[in-house]
A = this chain, B = another copy of it.
């Protein structure tokens, strides 16, 4: 079966990328018979050459199928694709989100310098600083107990209602920074499945609960459905609608809809169309983070990201860590047939990082048309997946070690723990090191004595070490991934900043709601499967059991 991309024969991209692409294909064939062990044996300086410091992080690429020549060819591809120019265009506020004609400037949100950053000739930094100051005042007021609920009580619990980028960022960060949590308890509700809001409200007291409704447009179906359920719950307890102003704030740009909901305009936190949902934790969407761990910690998170932004902006591509990280994904995805990319934090606190990066990567680069609107004939974004180690070792690592798929994997660990259990951390670190070693070394039939107990080895991995999982280190880690994902998108020539692929399902769902409520499909509106499922579901719902 010939390889196809959405039904078209696979082929390299056209010029200017074609020459470097073909050189990499050629190079891959030469490297296919060389193992990682061979590469280490042949080069005593390999670790020093291929490991890098960026901000406070150590990033080791030396356990990858690459040589100096590989990197040179990948950098040729990056140059042909215009990675540096597109990066500069992003920082300059140009409309690199081409389909929507928008700037992409989440880097402005964490610009800790005095440097202005422009969109359409206007410096956005004063607005950014205004919103930060507003977040600081508001979070201090709630955390300090000056802000009171309708009955005069302090706020003990905050519920962030949002979905996608308005959920995954706060969820991931607040879980990661749990040792810093000294504010109200944070809960997050995203799914329209009523179990989410139902179970959350069941444990809360309306008089001491503050809701943050996070939706840029204030029309997101899931978020508004959950927000209205929360509002009804509060009003039923308070006995009047005026209480809404004391218990709801909005992270939104739709002032009119926010006011209609009953939220005080003074408690609306703005962001801008140059902040994409999947880059929004750095914006007002981060208010839940500031409430949970304090605004100072939120600023440290921004500062950590800023350090990597500066590295990304100023460092030549050959030493630019996020660029190299992105190019390695291109290397495996386009030249070694890898379909997926595993993110394996050896850190219980980074439980939600894989899900966060799933959105960051798959929504950005899960595309099939070029920036010029032509169908791609090459692979674009990988499937990102993972779970924390050491848990994964007792679950899916079997396939990493002995399966038939090539799965490049990122291993992430903090050198120092956030708890006093040193023995646990020693064992965790030993496992972190042992796994990338085992994936590389393998074990031959001669050594193991049994086919079932032998390991092919030669599995490529990146190791990322944080000194400690601080707000600053976390900010750096996330920014590193963001820019690696950016780099991939430029090489693949896709617009990494829209998400048109979510629209069709939304439209069809809107039509289906009334049919679900009526309990039968509209005549002729659906294929036999969709109609049949709807009828079967309706019959089950009518069954009183």
Contacts and interface: CB of A to CB of B under 8 A. Distances in A.
B463 A7 contact: no
A508 interface: yes
Contacts of A403: 362, 365-368, 380-381, 501
A463 B535 CA distance: 14
A368 B198 CA distance: 46
Contacts of A424: 192-194, 197, 225-226, 229
A402 interface: yes
A46 B163 contact: no
Given A1-B28, A396-B363, A431-B505, A541 B415 contact: yes
A415 B539 CA distance: 9
Interface stretch (A70-78, A235-243, A248-256, A341-349): A341-349
B423 A362 contact: no
A530 B194 contact: no
A464 to B, nearest CB: 10
Interface stretch (A124-132, A136-144, A311-319, A387-395): A387-395
Contact of A498 (B29, B347, B430, B452): B452
Contact of A527 (B29, B40, B467): B40
B419 A62 contact: no
A419 B194 contact: yes
Contact of A394 (B28, B164, B450, B509): B164
Given A163-B391, A399-B381, A517 B434 contact: no
Contacts of A123: none
A521 B222 CA distance: 52
6 contacts: A40-B529, A58-B533, A62-B529, A359-B395, A363-B396, A465-B537
A283 interface: no
Q: Which 7 A-B pairs have the closest CB atoms?
A: A366-B399, A164-B394, A194-B421, A194-B424, A366-B403, A415-B540, A434-B509
B168 A433 contact: no
Interface string A522-545: 000011111111101100110101
Interface string A152-172: 000000000001110110000
